[in-house]
Amino acid sequence: MCGIFACHHHPDVVSFKPKALQMAKLIRHRGPDWSGNFVKNNTIIAHERLAIVGLDSGAQPLTNEDDTLALGVNGEIYNHVILRHKSCSGYNFKTQSDCEVIIPLYSKYDIDCPNYLDGMFAFVLYDAVKDRMIAARDPIGITTLYMGRASTCPGAVFFASEMKALSEVCDDIMTFPPGHVYDSSTDKLTRYFKPSWWDASRVPTTPLDLTAIRTSLESAVRKRLMSEVPYGVLLSGGLDSSLIASIAARETAKAQQPVEAAAETLTGVDENGNLSGGGSWPRLHSFAIGLPGAPDLVAARKVADFIGTVHHEHTFTLQEGLDALSDVIYHLETFDVTTIRASTPMYLLSRKIKAMGVKMVLSGEGSDEIFGGYLYFGAAPSKEEFHSETVQRVKNLHLADCLRANKSTCAWGLEARVPFLDKQFLELVMNIDPAEKMITKDRMEKYILRKAFDTTDEPSEKAYLPAEILWRQKEQFSDGVGYSWIDCLKDTAEQFVSDEQFASPKASWGADVPTTKEAYWYRCMFDEHFPSKTCAETVMRWIPKADWGCAEDPSGRFVKSHQSAL
């Protein structure tokens, strides 16, 4: 990942430049490898780079030959090799960066250019000839992006990868919506991502195809191994991360096999879905974290031994977790209880991973939303409502698990890639008849995903996972790292928040009042970092689905169907 800060239509961009660079520095943790900036007319783009593809030549902002187009990108474009050979043929590329294809795509397709990208991204592009800026964010919002305005600078529009880079200069900040493109010539946001499943009222009827699920997810993982630096996998021992790790281990082993030398030096996936270029360790490395004896650590070790990864197990203490909370909230820019609970171990683990020289990891976010894997989905009254809830959960991922994965890792200059949110995989799975996904007496959560990778009836196919992992019940990450983690957070909040304080919420909070002392405690820490009301308005808190019997506490342990792993 990288960090972007940009401003368009500033009345005095030259005098503003030092402040702009100062704001970009606030997000340098996202891109510690290089800093660059572009200034022209009334526009500035500042970029903090994390180098993963095009190491020697991909410094940003990227420009065309006559510097009339300038681009700042945070993300990865997995189909850039295909685009270079097809849609962008004839363009004189200056770098081997996967992101440079956006410039010729803009020249050819204007604001429709994001539709041609397969990847995770947030970008700003300035057209000096038209004095026009466009900005776009990937379809699901895997990559973070914010947009701001300032009453002291009428007419100007600001963009940044994290809210903190806007909080000092903007008094109006919003989360840039996923799947949208902004055009300064109209000052409007337009949805470009319009998949067939987006309208939840249209209940899909496509029959189940288990083979298609398996091959599509394998393709999604293969794309995301596009890298010129060492990579690994986050392995909790749950179904989702374990499947991603198993597929990645297979693909990494394939990449080590001798292949005929080719003139093509670009790193990426070709038209046939083959991965070329780049590099990795001879064996995949996997990373797990938990309190000593945590259920996730035990399960992750079983998976690592089974699939043959070089496994790294890290433990943390309750006090280390508590000590990190304020920093976690600063990096996450949220006060949502669910997100903070799960992000703290991920934040601690990311620091360990980066210290080992790894810059990119694969992670399992998105599966529970797509397949209805949270235990409360077992109370869905009909397939129509089940489907509607999955669509809504996917639409909110950019404010929840995607935000957590992106910011927890980027805090240490580590990039997380999420195969379950691949566009093609989403199109396949979100169009399956939801009756196939429902939790029943004889079908546990995510049954069809488990069944797609159950090869017991295929003697020639090596098993992807041990049976006890493939059919292990869902554990939310904040539970799986050790149940005492959540208990400790609740107990500590009781010490920090008195009954009197809890009964008298701050007037500035308005109607968004914390309902537990733990939530109150997090909100206070958030306010210390981000006192502006507009900052708090970018936060979405997890709301329980009470009509399905969903408990107010987001921990999976409070769902009746949960079976303790301890």
Rounded Cα distance between 138 and 142, Å, is 7
Q: In what order do the strands lie in the sheet with 415-417?
A: 310-315, 285-290, 231-234, 360-362, 415-417
Q: What is the DSSP letter of 512?
A: -
Rounded Cα distance between 333 and 473, Å, is 31
Tell me phi and psi for residue 434, to 5 degrees. -60, -15
Rounded Cα distance between 305 and 298, Å, is 11
**Catalytic (active site) residue 170:** no
Rounded Cα distance between 205 and 223, Å, is 28
Catalytic residue among 2, 99, 113, 153: 2
- Which of 546, 528, 536 is closest to 512 using CA atoms? 536
- Token code pair at residue 314: 């890290």
**Three-state secondary structure along 172-216?**
EEEECCCCEEEECCCCEEEECCCCCCCCCCCCCCECCCHHHHHHH
Beta-bridged to residue 182, according to DSSP, are: 135, 189
Q: What Cα–Cα distance (Å) separates residue 560 from each residue in 342, 378, 528, 549?
A: 21, 10, 37, 9
Q: Could you count the other beta carbons within 10 Å of the beta carbon of residue 138?
A: 27
Residues 6+ apart with CB under 8 A from 99: 58, 60, 62, 71, 73, 75, 76, 77, 80, 121, 123
The structure tokens 């010729």 sit at 104
Residues designated catalytic: 2
